[in-house]
């Protein structure tokens, strides 16, 4: 619980829910007749709606980007380091929106929601969603909020992939694209890690083919393993060495299978605090969206051709110690954008934190990000309609 | 099945079993009153027993280094690329021995063996074994075979760690130490991967606290996940890209959770063919031996001081794409050996195969390995007693 909410926080915030009754045709061919999206907004939309920023979230996070839901909240939103009054994404200047992605488990329609056709939770009948589907649903959210064009769409990791898809699918609807710690598609190794996570969940006897809600169970063991594995890929070898090294929790080797090394304790803690909070079917769905993401699929693998429709200005950031989506992967994006004569600012940030760096308070990262945001502030100001 | 056994194979081989009734005091403080080791040998021991080579195996392998057990065998031993007549470790010149490590599941006493005290399988009552314990048991095997001093002790990965321990514990009992794709100790990331594998096995409902033998079950799901995860760390990102890329098994995305990408198919196949062949308790034990390995533990983390007792000549090999035990880790070993004025030949082999490279037919690797072996051939010849 924050004793007092810090002055540079958006403070107490409330999620809202929007219902969409226009059917959504998905990449898979399935149609979702109706759905709900839960979202949060911070800051004020200006007269001309030129100061709106959409944030897209990563695999396991949600619409709660910044602030607190109650005074009892122990932690703020997931990008509190970046979003708030006077911060990098300055809520005194911008109107910031983020929704829980379709298929999520934090209030938007997903596998745990009731399927109107059966009166039971969707479970495995919830369709697989792609990054393109998310962008489509976010575009409808923009319509509902009355926003024709975002000043920027921003996201890290899987969030950055959604930003890329926005730039391809709706070139006229965003002025700037902010893509952090992302990749133009997964490698075989990335897919392999996702597959181990999925197999871990799907072979848990409590999974019941995804209908565990009806059995009053949950594939906790499988989800726990998936989360532990995820955490290894979010951290770098270096930061693990810095944080844990070979330190022993009890100062000595016990020759048994209880926690001995600090890193074991960390992983078990992370895993235990994830289960019960996150839906396993959503985890499966999110990993599939990652695997499938490939904007160059339609152009025969040619990423340059894939960005031909893009009209946006780009800010691309990578982190040197990120081995999940290494700087090489960001450079592939930058090259394809340059090939299309698009404006790109690219920053490769030296850091030891691994993939998770995009969430961290790293001064040089936040400084350069802020400098780019000031450019977007000028765009928002120039198009605000003030003085016209 | 080999239609005919190749001329450069040791051919049909038979494992033998030795029983040891002298109690073995283990690093953990436990005592194993008696135990058996299964082992294979190839080639002929010379008069002075100066041509004996001990091979130490890695996590999931065993005493079956080369040759075939029957004409129905589909695959030869695990180091067939290296060991055989005229090969790198030339069985026309050397007497080669390898035992299944204590705690193993291929014939040496391990968790699945009957505990004489209870008449039931040991299961979780089998003591945790360390690399030092293995070296001790291998030294007794040497005694039983009448070998005072090995011309060389050789191994890759966890096998290489046993070689390091031999050089520290029995400096007078080996002339050469061959350490391939190893590390002086695990990093936090290495331990983290092991911990995920262990948690996967230990939380499988069929594990029954390690007493699954008595329940007629086996933690197949957990072992399967552990093996999939292992395979990711054995391959490099590059070789995965080369082998699988983002290739789809059926040429198209199916939007379901069956195998879609080739890499998923590979991992599932590897995992499925592992379960039923490998004992889960042995897997746990082997990962613990890896975690605990740290020859510098007694010297306060000072690796140079740890090698003070070593008198051996060293051949150290690493592979550029090995991210499990990267070249940097081998260089730590080389530096500590140099600090002790020991003879070290170090080869850093360019390869895309990742950690598994030590098992592969990589010409430059095999050439340089062969060149070093010729030096050991001269040692064996000079000490053979011939002409004296």
Residue of B nearest to A271 (CA): B196
Whether the CB of B158 is below 8 Å from some CB of chain A: the reply is: no
Asked if B60 and B283 touch (Cβ cutoff 8 Å), the reply is yes
Give the pLDDT confidence score for residue B4 in this predicted structure.
Answer: 83
- Is A65 in contact with A53 (CB distance < 8 Å)? no
Name A24's bridge partners.
Answer: A32
pLDDT at B2: 62
Neighbours of B200 (CB within 10 A): 32
Give me the mean pLDDT over the B291-307 stretch: 96
| Cβ-defined contact of A267 to B229 (cutoff 8 Å) | no
Cα A302 from Cα B377, distance rounded (Å): 54
A28 interaction partners in chain B (CB closer than 8 Å): 255
**pTM for this predicted structure:** 0.96
Asked if residue B1 has pLDDT above 60, the reply is no
Please state, in angstroms and rounded to a whole number, the distance separating the CA atoms of residues A13 and A62.
Answer: 14
Cβ–Cβ gap B189/A237 under 8 Å: yes
pLDDT more than 70, % of chain B: 99
Task: Answer whether residue B3 shows pLDDT above 80.
Answer: no
What tens digit of pLDDT does each residue of A26-82 get? Answer: 999 999 999 999 999 999 999 999 999 999 999 999 999 999 999 999 899 999 999
Return the structure tokens found at B385. Answer: 């007693």
Average pLDDT in the B11-22 region?
A: 97
Report CB contact under 8 Å: A188, B284. Answer: no
Structure tokens at B30: 């436990």
List of residues 6+ apart from B12 with CB closer than 8 A: B5, B67, B68, B69, B70, B71
* % of chain A residues with pLDDT over 90: 96
Beta-bridge mates of residue B115: B120
In angstroms, rounded to a whole number, what is the distance separating the alpha carbons of residues A256 and B203? 15
Signed CA dihedral, B187, B192, B198, B202: sign only = positive
pLDDT of residue A247 exceeding 50, the answer is yes
Q: What is the DSSP letter of B149?
A: S
Taking contacts as CB-CB distances below 8 angstroms, the residues of chain A near B244 are 188
pLDDT of residue A237: 92
Are B175 and B372 contacting, i.e. CB atoms less than 8 angstroms apart?
Answer: no
HSE-CB at B175 with a 13 A cutoff on CA atoms is 22
Is pLDDT of A5 > 90? no
Best of B239, B255, B353 to disrupt the A interface (most A CBs within 10 Å) is: B255
Between the alpha carbon of residue B6 and those of residues B68, B80, B90, B98, the distances in Å are: 11, 11, 15, 21
pLDDT at residue B388, as a whole number: 46
Q: How confident is the model at residue A368 (pLDDT cuts 50, 70, 90)?
A: very high
Residue B139 class from Cβ within 10 Å (0-12 exposed, 13-18 middle, 19+ buried)? middle
Over residues B322-331, mean pLDDT: 98
Question: Which residues in chain A are contacts of B28 at CB distance < 8 A?
Answer: 255
B36-65 mean pLDDT: 97
Tokens of A163: 């930003």
Mean residue pLDDT of chain B comes to: 96
Of A113, A322, A330, A351, the active-site residue reads A322
Q: Which residue of A28, A205, A228 is in closest CB contact with B196?
A: A228
- Region B158-184: mean pLDDT is 98
Contact flag B188-A255 (C-beta cutoff 8 Å): no
**DSSP line for A154-167:** EEETHHHHHHHHHH
Q: Would you call A267 and B243 a contact, using CB atoms and an 8 Å cutoff?
A: no
A198 touches chain B (CB under 8 A): yes
Residue B125 among the catalytic residues: no
Residue B188: its chain A contacts at CB < 8 A?
A: 237, 240-241, 243-246, 261-263
Active site residue A355: yes
Q: Is B28 in Cβ contact with A255 (below 8 Å)?
A: yes
pLDDT > 70 in chain A, percent: 99
Q: Is B172 exposed, middle or buried (0-12, 13-18, 19+ CB in 10 A)?
A: exposed
Of A187, A264, A292, the CB nearest to B195: A264
Q: Tell me if chain A has a CB within 8 Å of the CB of B200.
A: yes
Q: Which tokens belong to A44?
A: 């004020």
User: Tokens 């999925």 belong to which residue?
Assistant: A198
**Neighbouring residues of A369: CB distance < 8 A, sequence distance ≥ 6:** A82, A88, A178, A315, A317, A347
Please compute the mean of the pLDDT values over residues B87-99 and round it to a whole number: 98
Instruction: Mention every residue, 6+ apart, whose C-beta is less than 8 A from residue A362.
Output: A349, A351, A353
The two beta strands, B31-32 and B24-25, are antiparallel
* A127-149 per-position pLDDT tens digit: 999 999 999 999 999 999 999 99
Q: Answer whether B372's CB lies under 8 Å from B315's CB.
A: yes
Q: Token pair of A264, please?
A: 């074991």
Q: Give the per-residue pLDDT at A388.
A: 47
Give the per-residue pLDDT at A141. 98
Contact B189 A292 (CB under 8 A): no
Residue A2, pLDDT > 80, answer: no
């Amino acid at each position: 619980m924050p004793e007092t909410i810090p002055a540079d926080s958006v403070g107490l915030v409330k999620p809202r829910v929007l219902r969409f009754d226009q059917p959504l045709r998905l990449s898979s061919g399935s149609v979702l007749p109706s759905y709900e999206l839960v979202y949060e907004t911070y800051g004020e939309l200006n007269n001309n709606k030129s100061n709106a920023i959409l944030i897209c979230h990563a695999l396991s996070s949600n619409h709660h980007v910044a602030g607190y839901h109650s005074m009892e909240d122990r932690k703020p939103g997931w990008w509190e380091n970046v979003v708030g009054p006077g911060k990098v994404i300055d809520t005194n200047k911008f109107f910031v929106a983020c929704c829980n992605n379709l298929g999520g488990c934090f209030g938007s329609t997903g596998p745990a929601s009731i399927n109107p056709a059966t009166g039971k939770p969707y479970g495995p009948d919830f369709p697989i969603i792609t990054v393109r589907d998310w962008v489509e649903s976010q575009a409808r959210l923009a319509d509902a909020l009355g926003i024709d064009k975002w000043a920027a769409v921003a996201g890290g990791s899987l969030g950055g992939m959604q930003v890329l898809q926005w730039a391809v699918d709706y070139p006229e609807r965003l002025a700037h694209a902010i893509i952090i710690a992302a990749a133009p598609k997964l490698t075989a190794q990335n897919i392999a890690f996702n597959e181990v996570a999925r197999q871990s969940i799907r072979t848990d006897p409590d999974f019941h083919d995804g209908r565990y809600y009806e059995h009053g169970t949950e594939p906790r063991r499988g989800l726990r393993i998936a989360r532990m594995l995820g955490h290894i890929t979010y951290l770098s070898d270096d930061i693990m060495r810095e944080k844990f090294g070979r330190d022993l929790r009890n100062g000595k080797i016990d020759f048994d299978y209880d926690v001995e090394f600090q890193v074991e304790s960390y992983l078990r803690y992370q895993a235990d605090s994830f289960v019960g909070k996150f839906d396993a079917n959503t985890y499966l769905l999110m990993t599939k969206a990652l695997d499938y993401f490939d904007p160059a699929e339609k152009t025969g693998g040619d990423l340059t051709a894939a960005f031909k429709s893009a009209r946006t200005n780009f800010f691309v950031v990578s982190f040197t110690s990120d081995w999940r989506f290494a700087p090489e992967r960001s450079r592939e994006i930058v090259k394809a954008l340059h090939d299309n004569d698009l404006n790109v600012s690219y920053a490769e940030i030296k850091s030891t934190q691994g993939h998770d760096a995009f969430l961290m308070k790293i001064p040089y990262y936040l400084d350069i990000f802020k400098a780019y945001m000031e450019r977007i502030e000028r765009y928002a100001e120039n198009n605000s309609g003030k003085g016209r």
